[in-house]
Amino acid sequence: MVNLTHHLNAQQFAGELLMNEPMSRHTSWRTGGNAEYFFVPANIKDLSQFLGALPKNIPVMWVGKGSNLLVRDGGLTGIVISVESALGEFIKVTDTEIKVDAGLSCVKAARQAAKEGLSGIEFLAGIPGTIGGALAMNAGAWGGETWVNAVSAETINRQGKINHYQKSDFEIGYRSVSLPTDEWFISATFKLTNADPELIKERIRNMLDERAARQPLGQLSCGSVFRNPEGDHAARLIEAAGLKGYQIGGAVVSEKHANFIVNTGNASASDIESLIQHIANTVRNKHAVDMQAEVKIVGKDNMGETN
């Protein structure tokens, strides 16, 4: 186990530093091993000071809502930083520009923009993560993508230094964004358009109604597991392979939406990872298509190995 006691004095930070924190409390699948250390900063200044005090050899991972994350049963070495409570501001910068912190949920960002009469990020209401996660993977839904309306972003690095970037500084693709190693998004500015708040809210309601009709909401999942292959849909391929309802341990392919894996209540991370691999292998064998997982799989298995 990494020993941070010689490097960090918890009294100098306003945030909360926990040891052996179960990551099942911080992922939407509600499973997985422990993080050696888990830090919840009080604010951006606290986060900057904490990062600056960390030894360079300590692995660092960020987590928002944990909705796109599978932590293996052996847990995580190093430290996990949770930014959901510290980075949660929504600021209207101009009549058409907003600045949104990385820890704010996508749903709240979409609804606040609607309240301000600003259109362009309604689709974010259907994404169960935070703005930081949406920026990092260029999350999308209903034909919208996070970076379409983004104009700039701020990051923080391992030394606690804040960097400012324009959209043009990043290479942006389908579910991918280039980001320097050991830098994490802390905010972004979006350029939107003025519209009737009630019409925007109605669009959001319609999207959420459609989502509820098609997806297994209220069950433990991470959202979509696989990216859509070019010109096709992951759910269609999985369903056509006869995998709806297929189960390994406590993990099952949703009967409602084939690109969702549901934890029925007692799934281990190993169950879920095995099911992800089985789906990929079956689709490859039946359709000659290589599936790419959207979900990020991290940590060690029960044998202590990182795959």
> Is the pLDDT assigned to residue 10 strictly greater than 70?
no
Let me know: does 239 contact 225? Beta carbons within 8 Å.
Answer: no
As assigned by CATH, the class of the 10-82 domain is alpha beta
Greater confidence (175 vs 148) lies with: 148
**pLDDT at position 299:** 95
> Is the pLDDT assigned to residue 304 strictly greater than 70?
no
230 as an active site residue: the answer is: no
- Which of 46, 307, 298, 6 shows the shortest CA–CA distance to 186? 46
Let me know: does 194 contact 200? Beta carbons within 8 Å.
Answer: no
Q: Which of 30, 158, 175, 236 is catalytic?
A: 175
**What is the separation, in whole angstroms, between the first and last Cα of the chain?**
19
224 as an active site residue: the answer is: yes
Dump pLDDT digits (tens) for 43-56: 999 999 999 999 88
Detail the DSSP E strand segments found in the chain.
Answer: 16-22, 34-40, 60-63, 69-71, 76-82, 90-92, 97-101, 118-119, 140-141, 144-145, 150-157, 162-166, 172-173, 176-177, 183-191, 193-194, 247-248, 251-253, 261-263, 296-298
The CATH code of domain 90-213 reads 3.30.465.10
Q: Which of 84, 122, 154, 294 is catalytic?
A: 294
> Is the pLDDT assigned to residue 4 strictly greater than 80?
no
Give the confidence band of 227 by pLDDT, cuts at 50, 70, 90: very high
Annotated domain spans of the chain: 10-82, 90-213, 218-298
Which tokens go with 118? Answer: 């600003």
Distances 172 to 86, 106, 177, 247, 266 between C-alpha atoms, Å:
27, 19, 5, 35, 37
> Is the pLDDT assigned to residue 307 strictly greater than 70?
no
Can you name the CATH fold of 218-298? 3.90.78
**pLDDT at position 303:** 58
**pLDDT at position 175:** 85
Q: Which of 224, 254, 268, 270 is catalytic?
A: 224
- Tell me the pLDDT of the chain averaged across its residues: 93
Which tokens go with 151? Answer: 């104009």
Give the confidence band of 5 by pLDDT, cuts at 50, 70, 90: low
**pLDDT at position 101:** 98
**pLDDT at position 6:** 59
- Which of 137, 149, 136 shows the shortest CA–CA distance to 110? 149
In the predicted model, what is the mean pLDDT of residues 133-137?
93
